[in-house]
Structure 1
Amino acid sequence: MENTTLRAFKYRLRPTKAQEAQLTETLILCQRLYNGMLEERRGAYRKAGKSLTAYDQMKSLPEVKAALPEYASVNAQVLQDVAKRLDKSFKGFFRRIKAGQKAGYPRFKGRDRYDSFTYPQPSQNSVTADGKHIYLPKIGNVRIRLHRPFAGKIKTLAVKREGAEWYAVLTCEVQKAKLLPPTGSTVGIDLGVNHLVITSDGEFVDNPRFLRSARKRLRVAQRSLCRKKRGSKRRKKAKAAVAKLHLKVRRQRDDLHHKVARKLVQQHDLIAHEELNITGLARTRMANSVLDAGWAGLLDKLASKAEEAGRQLIGVDPRYTSQDCHQCGHREKHSLSVREFTCKGCGAVLNRDINAALNILARALPSVGNVDQRVMRSPRSPVLQGGE
């Protein structure tokens, strides 16, 4: 069994104006090369029925440099990685076709949609000994804010633009972390919009609704953008202001998700959740609230942290979890506006979301052989009232 894994470390870059111009130029050239290689693949298949590979296109890079001297300013391995990136897109396209999924043919990238380039074989001494600079071939030593140390062998070095900011992402091969000790605890979680997470223990995690909080500022910034003339410097500045607001909202949401996921993984051996059709819910009248909560992002982070810690994460069928009584199984249909569940079968009265979380946990436990089936409720029972 492999005892190593890959981990990414992301750091803020502080390039000079000249270096920032070089970084931007590198991105533009990589974007143009990506689009050119995509057109080459399409043309080869359309005219000759031939499928080009990444290796075929990498062999033609010297010819590209001879015809377009500006590409000499870009590291050769960075250009090769562009061909590999396109090849990865095509492999994903064919894999989805084979699986009967929505294929999504690789598309041409606009400047705003191509925001990173990668050094696939960086030097292990890329970061200087004092931790203040990082060496980027063809660009030079760029100031870096090493807010935490990285560990392991550097496998790739990616440079990414987010709004007006630049970041270096070091992907390192590190030893796998030790699994967390067992806690003997299991939990079911119900995802909501008023509260982000409701657990079967009766705990509520508030949903700050970051996008809704920023809506007024976004509206002002968006209207300002719409009034600017296309192609003008003022429009470019207004566009950057809108992007910065959206970036802040995303970071706030990600920070909350990481904290919630980490707490759940540290406290419980088994975490059960609903297998929700989030894409479908994002097309309903609740779309804004669902997207603002970011359930998919939370579940992704939860899955990653659970795997690393050796915890079990189980998704269950979400149907009727909020309508079935967790004690007797009686189905009591209520509208979403009714927040207190009252069972006419056994008389149990409790919060609707806690009842759903208890049902989610109950559905997950039978599929896990090494979990005590008696652990169906927290010792801090959320049941407010019971009957015969």
Structure 2
Amino acid sequence: MTDTPAPPRSSPLHDRHEALGASFTDFGGWNMPVRYSSDLAEHRAVREAAGLFDISHMAEFWVHDGRATDLLDVVLAGRVSAMRTGKAKYSLVLADDGGIVDDVIVYRTGEQHYLVVANAGNREAVAVAFARVRESWPADAGEAPTVCDVTDSVALVALQGPRARGIFESVGAVEILGTPLEELGYYAFTEGTFDGDSLFIARTGYTGEDGYELLVPVERAGDLWDALLAAGAPHGVVPCGLAARDTLRLEAGMPLYGHELTREIAPAQAGLGRVVATDKDVFVGKDALASRPADAPVLVGLVSDGKRAGRAGYAVLRHDEVVGEITSGALSPTLGHPVAMAYVSPTAADPGTPLTIDVRGTRIPATVTALPFYRRNA
């Protein structure tokens, strides 16, 4: 007898997505909207105006009290202790062998208070990573910090695009209590309220555009979603699904866990060596990183002509030799030609190197290029 897989969970905004005509897909154990109208229209709205995403499938952990900073400096590969309160930092959770368990964003909300946002499918793995370090907490280090998984009590939405700030500022029920939006830097956050309830406002995102990720109590998610759509209607905002989110992040060269990042990949292979504070005394996976093979495949960008895009799993060749494999690929809506990310041999990774992609038996010429493919205007 085998266990029946649990059905995917639904977002607190599921009814609203249905009313908007969304199509759904299972993503990280959640039933999430993949599109509402067309992938292309939603993608272009984010690049030209604004898009609204439900990202309530993400996992959230509050880490606080005790020596929370020291705990995070061990669990995460980055140096959390160097963060200032009010700032955000991209970091990695590593396994003992140096492979990537998850990529996360950590926000420092106080001297010993942090919010960590992880990927939906890695919620349990990140919780285990915290638990392992807490269980081995030194007796002379005082009480172990508290780690609270608050995923089920909060909702997260993202407003992204060049008109995001103007739209957000026009939501009358929002009051900013901390740093004003005009002073809020990228990868920073401020506190506020939405109709009297707490509102966490982060200037972060996963699209390559400016915008905000907004955390509210789960019972207020629908009201916030409605208010943002209403405020943005005159400015071209549209609800956007996972399909548009994927092409947006691909153009911006942002890795997706399960594609560019896996348990088998080390940070340096993914171009994320800068994220790792190798001079820290200790963090999970540190010792193993030094023994990783120097000839391991590395992540590159590939561009090609025409309309046929390489997809995840397609082989990358130099002459007749397979030198790598695509992890993500699509016909770029913004650039008008195919783009892809792939892991290839270091001998084939220099920008300008001509390669080919095996697209269902047809060799498509491609050229190695530096990431990202797209950068927004400052």
Structure 1 length-normalised TM: 0.24
Of structures 1 and 2, the larger Rg is shown by 1
Asked which structure has the greater RCO (Cα within 8 Å, sep 6+), the reply is 2
Higher helix share: 1
Higher strand share: 2
